[in-house]
Amino acid sequence: MQAQFLFATGIENSNPTIQNGKFRMDELAKCKHYQFWQKDFDLVEELGIRFLRYGPPIHTTWLGVGKYDWSFADETFNDLRRRNIMPIVDLCHFGVPDWLGNFQNLEFAQLFGDYCHDFAMRFPWVQLYTPVNEMYICAEFSALYGWWNEQLASDQA
């Protein structure tokens, strides 16, 4: 079988907290994707791109243990499916929901696994994932340099 070249683009969905957790840098809000997501998808289609790095905003989708607001994800992912654009889903991109605290939460791995499972059950047609996008950068910026989320600066963090 000959390998096929996969050309993709993406819509930045990172959302770390800064300023000791007082401010969330929501890139989807900054680029007005919440208002113009259909136009953004139109542009992807116009380019003829069939694969899109994309993810639901974790901080507004995952409301608590087993609690979700799927409304935005339902709209956007169903529209991607209708357009025959295959998402490569980022489920966590530099930030976690406020209720979870930060990546130092010892329950993060189990709870995040449950969130991933529930997303996959809701959207069984999705096949491509980057569950945690750019883990190294997230760890480095959050726990070593102290710029994001935990704002720690140690090897232990």
| pLDDT tens, residue by residue, 76-131 | 999 999 999 999 999 999 899 999 998 889 999 999 999 999 999 999 999 999 99
- The answer to whether position 152 is within a domain reads no
Q: What is the pLDDT of residue 1?
A: 65
List CB contacts of 154: < 8 A, sequence separation 6 or more. Answer: 143, 144
- The answer to whether position 36 is within a domain reads yes
Pairing of strands 51-54, 23-24: unpaired
C-alpha to C-alpha distance for 113 and 121, rounded to whole angstroms: 12
- The answer to whether position 150 is within a domain reads no
pLDDT at 145 over 90: no
List CB contacts of 141: < 8 A, sequence separation 6 or more. Answer: 16, 94, 147, 148
pLDDT in tens, 22-71: 899 999 999 999 999 999 999 999 999 999 999 999 999 999 999 999 99
pLDDT at 141 over 90: no
Work out the number of other CB atoms within 10 angstroms of the CB of residue 40.
18
Q: What is the pTM of this model?
A: 0.91
Pairing of strands 8-10, 17-18: unpaired
Q: What is the pLDDT of residue 19?
A: 87
Where helices occur in 63-127 by DSSP H, the ranges are 71-82, 108-122
- The answer to whether position 157 is within a domain reads no
- The answer to whether position 114 is within a domain reads yes
- Give the domain extent around 88: 8-144
Q: How many domains does the chain have?
A: 1
- The answer to whether position 2 is within a domain reads no
- The answer to whether position 131 is within a domain reads yes
- The answer to whether position 88 is within a domain reads yes
